[in-house]
Amino acid sequence: MKRLLTTKEVAQFLDVNEKMVYALVADKGLPASKITGKWLFPTHLVQQWVETHTLNYPENGHLLPPYHGLLILAGSNDPLLERTIGLFNDQDGDQVAVFGNLGSMGGLRALRQGRCHMAACHLLQDNEREYNFDYATREFEQMPVVVNFCRREQGIVLAPGNPKGIRSIKDLARKGIRIVNRSLSTGTRLLLDRELKKAGVKPEKLAGYDHEVPRHLDVGLEVLSGRAHAGPAIRPVASLLGLEFLPIRWERYDFLISKERFFDQGVQAFLALLHEKDFRTMAESYRGYDVGNSGRMLFPYQNAADGDTD
């Protein structure tokens, strides 16, 4: 188990007083667990929380070289994206696409620092209607190009037949239920934390909340194996593994691309795939995807009335 910090140690780490630590737990989602009446803070989660709330990053002088056939994508994991990368690699022997599974926030940072061509993100804004634009505004001096990859249904995957009778987010805190989670840098984790707060559920009440896995599919496999009773993931994973699904909302999952690299050959070739029949056939093989706007360039707030809410 990773080292746990006391309230005093966290206060020293963040350079704040101890009363402020309690406020950050209540108001800003600072990760903490209450054990025998004492607050404890996993070191790695505190560090991730600080990274997630970082607004400004220094300029990075080591930008991507001119495009020579290697397309780098980074950010949020998605099964359809993985298959689309495979489709890209199969159709053109002169180009190769690779993916870094960093979570939505990690993808934004990688794009900001010039370490990838495209960032895959699904970060729900405070108004709960739009995605990604507010986060991009805080990260970049110049807004990247935003292109929709798909819409997908987020929720909680459950064991076949739902033997624990989980019907709501509040049920996750019931005695005898263990969950599996995603890392703090992912949009899925941020959505779960938002829903827990709305339901009045404290994360420290959830057994398994600190057990993190890197992909949606890994959440599904933990539930399928019986090591967890529930976990946040997208409906396509439930469809693939034969799991039950408790829906939360449909979300928009986008590519963010710097304007300097938007017309790179690999970027344009990858985006062109989103209009092809093979891509749409792949999406139709799952439940929980909507590719009606795939490949469409998006602008702030124009889609608020177009069905991008749940």
Residue 293: which of 155, 158, 157, 146 has the closest Cα? Answer: 146
Alpha helices in 29-126 (DSSP H): 43-52, 79-91, 103-112
The residue ranking higher by pLDDT, 7 or 84, is: 84
The residue ranking higher by pLDDT, 16 or 284, is: 284
pLDDT attached to residue 307: 42
pLDDT attached to residue 287: 96
Structure confidence at residue 197 as a pLDDT band (50, 70, 90): very high
309 has a pLDDT exceeding 80: no
132 has a pLDDT exceeding 60: yes
Ramachandran region, residue 27 (left: φ > 0; alpha: ψ -120 to 50; beta: rest): alpha
The residue ranking higher by pLDDT, 144 or 31, is: 144
Q: Which residues pair with 97 in a beta bridge?
A: 71
Least confident range from 8-17, 68-77, 148-157, 190-199: namely 8-17
Residue 303: which of 143, 140, 118, 133 has the closest Cα? Answer: 133
Structure confidence at residue 305 as a pLDDT band (50, 70, 90): very low
pLDDT attached to residue 277: 96
Structure confidence at residue 226 as a pLDDT band (50, 70, 90): very high
Return d(Cα 232, Cα 173) in angstroms, integer.
14
Structure confidence at residue 308 as a pLDDT band (50, 70, 90): very low
DSSP state of 275: T
| Share above pLDDT 70 across residues of the chain, in percent, rounded to a whole number | 92
pLDDT attached to residue 108: 95
Return d(Cα 80, Cα 45) in angstroms, integer.
29
